[in-house]
Amino acid sequence: MSQDFDADVAIIGYGPSGVIAALTLARQGVSVVAFERDRDIYPRARAVTINDWTMRIFQNLGIDERIDKVIDPQRMLRWVTYAGEEVMRIEHPPSILGAGPRFYNIYQPTMEAELRAAAAEYRDLVTVRYGAEVTGVDQDEAGVTITTADPATGHSHSYRARYAIGADGGSSRTRGWIGARLDGDTADTLWIVIDCAVRRWWPDRDVLTFWTDRERPVVDIALSGGNHRWELPLMHGETEADFPTHAEVWPLLEAIGVTADDVDIHRYAFYRHHVRMADTWRNRRIFLVGDAAHLMPPWAGAGMQTGIRDAHDLGWKLGRVLRGALPETWLDTYEAERRPNATFYTDLAVRLGRVIRQEATPAEIDAMNAVPEGLVTPHEPPLTAPPTLAAGWIRGEIGDASIVGRMVPQPIVGDTAGRMTRLDDLLGDGFVLLGDDIDPATLLAPEEKAAWDALGARYVAVRPRNVHTRGSDDLVDLDDVLRPWLQRYRVRAVAVRPDRFVAADDVHGLTVPTC
């Protein structure tokens, strides 16, 4: 790195999205300086859940085992009325993306502390300026200049980086500095969030429950570490001033049968739901991730997770661009890939919100649970369906009958040395071509192989468990998962990106996609 730069990448905001960006970059040897106005982690739990896609990202970053120690499995969701009638239920199927549950309950302050501790281990690459408020961002052809102020001393500082990432939340100033407009709406209804410590177990305490009601719907969710949360809207005419102490909050919980024998209230706060998205997520060398780019209601449990996925997508690409392993044009794929996914979860959250407010018609509810006929891909409800790419660095058709854009399942596999572990642990963190009992390199024309070689791709044959391995990179499909998955889509080989999405297949051509 040139002496003119303090770091390769500057990150503005150091919540979960900012930390994941820092970890993803540091894992590739890229230096980071992060700026966080607050000196301590925000004490209130905001996000409440993560799923196996997010855990697979944590696995890629080498932190899944430490995170697994501070989160709990979630077994299902249900929508019930105050009269006890069950409106809708979603049972969580087993994960196909990793060896674990499909969903987890979290306590965000605890999980966030683990993320920061993991990033702190990259002490030679990650520098965090706590208590530094970013007051200005400017860019030129060579890099970005970030100006900060210390609120305690009033001293200002200037830093230089090659690129900058705005991870500074829904009130992002970075968004304004790059000229982005935040489109959408904010709901008028004010909600109260009540975080409690559990004193005793009650029936179905571990089932994520939405109490559906037109006037006072409730989100009732177990958090990890013996915590529990309820979220509910204030009635017309109620304000924050009506709840000055815990005494005024208790009647809200007692209405659904929760008493002081069950929990202790340890904090509560108020917020409004947003359905907003920035009109652009990038201005030359400056990018937006997480709430700085999009805000959604909480019903799909995807707000924080969408930010984490933004940061990982941008991070693995930006790191390779900075190392010279990928051309800068790859950065154009960031918003192209992430915006459709953020839009999907925003729309899903809005639809689920209509169910909890008893605004959804029976036909709408049936449509959410409907199972289309004649599908190639086994149907799952949108909330639990495995992730897919709708655009970006992929080649070929997308849709039910195509494998392109899908995330590769992650079973336990074996290698030629007899090791048996999760697929990703043996694939490494680069580009890989997988073949169904065939060396995928044999399916490539010389110019196609040269292009994949330039990306550092590996060529891996996935063998059935009842034959000998042949090449040093062969893997054994111990659980009979990968080969049937490839055969379902009638392909012999796929090209897999570092984030485990399929970029191309032999049916549409294994040529390297263009940016």
Q: What is the pLDDT of residues 409-457, one digit of tens each?
A: 999 999 999 999 999 999 999 999 999 999 999 999 999 999 999 999 9
Q: How far is CA 377 from CA 204, 345, 369, 433, 484, in A?
A: 32, 20, 16, 21, 12
Q: Where are the beta strands (DSSP E) in 213-291?
A: 218-223, 227-233, 263-278, 282-283, 286-288
User: Would you mind telling me the total number of residues written for the chain in this entry?
Assistant: 515
Q: How far is CA 170 from CA 13, 131, 160, 296, 305, in A?
A: 11, 19, 25, 10, 15
> CB burial class (10 A; 0-12, 13-18, 19+) of residue 514?
exposed
Backbone φ/ψ region at 236: left (φ over 0), alpha (ψ -120 to 50), beta? beta
Q: What is the pLDDT of residues 156-205, one digit of tens each?
A: 999 999 999 999 999 999 999 999 999 999 988 899 999 999 999 999 89
Across residues 107-113, what is the average pLDDT? 95
Q: What is the pLDDT of residue 1?
A: 44
Q: What is the pLDDT of residue 99?
A: 78
What is the DSSP code string of 350-379? HHHHHHHTT-S-HHHHHHHH---SS-SSPP
3-class state of residue 73 by DSSP: strand
Residue pointed to by tokens 């309950």: 105
Within 33-169, where are the H helices? 52-60, 64-68, 108-120
Q: 175-208 burial string, b = 16+ CB within 10 Å, else e?
A: bebbebebeeeeeeeebbbbbbebeeeeeeebbb
Encoded tokens for 313: 């997508």
- Fill in the amino acid letter for 85: E
Q: What is the pLDDT of residues 326-351, one digit of tens each?
A: 999 999 999 999 999 999 999 999 98
- Fill in the amino acid letter for 168: D
Q: 95-118 burial string, b = 16+ CB within 10 Å, else e?
A: bbbbbbbbbbbbbbbbbbebbbeb
Q: 448-487 burial string, b = 16+ CB within 10 Å, else e?
A: bbebbeeeebbbbbbbeeeeebeeebbbbbeeebbbebbe
**Per-residue pLDDT for 3 more than 60?**
no
The percentage of residues in the chain with a pLDDT greater than 70, rounded to a whole number, is: 99
| 402 — pLDDT class (breaks 50, 70, 90) | very high
**Per-residue pLDDT for 404 more than 70?**
yes
Q: What is the pLDDT of residues 457-479, one digit of tens each?
A: 999 999 999 999 999 999 999 99
Residue pointed to by tokens 């693995």: 316
What sign for the dihedral angle of Cα 440, 445, 449, 451? negative
Across residues 116-143, what is the average pLDDT? 97
Question: Shortest CA distance to 22 belongs to which of 113, 120, 114, 112?
Answer: 120
Q: What is the pLDDT of residues 27-51, one digit of tens each?
A: 999 999 999 999 899 877 689 999 9
Q: What is the pLDDT of residue 299?
A: 86
**The whole model's pTM is what?**
0.95
Question: Shortest CA distance to 307 belongs to which of 122, 108, 28?
Answer: 108
- Fill in the amino acid letter for 149: A
Instruction: Give CA–CA dist 281/178, Å, rounded.
Output: 9
**Per-residue pLDDT for 315 more than 90?**
yes
Instruction: Give CA–CA dist 189/80, Å, rounded.
Output: 21
Instruction: Give CA–CA dist 156/158, Å, rounded.
Output: 7
Question: Shortest CA distance to 289 belongs to which of 301, 275, 305?
Answer: 305
Q: What is the pLDDT of residues 134-162, one digit of tens each?
A: 999 999 999 999 999 988 888 899 999 99
Element of type H or E holding 475: strand 475-476
Within 268-356, where are the H helices? 303-322, 333-356
| 294 — pLDDT class (breaks 50, 70, 90) | very high
**Per-residue pLDDT for 216 more than 70?**
yes
Q: How far is CA 175 from CA 38, 151, 172, 293, 305, in A?
A: 19, 22, 5, 8, 20
Q: Where are the beta strands (DSSP E) in 380-450?
A: 412-415, 420-422, 432-436
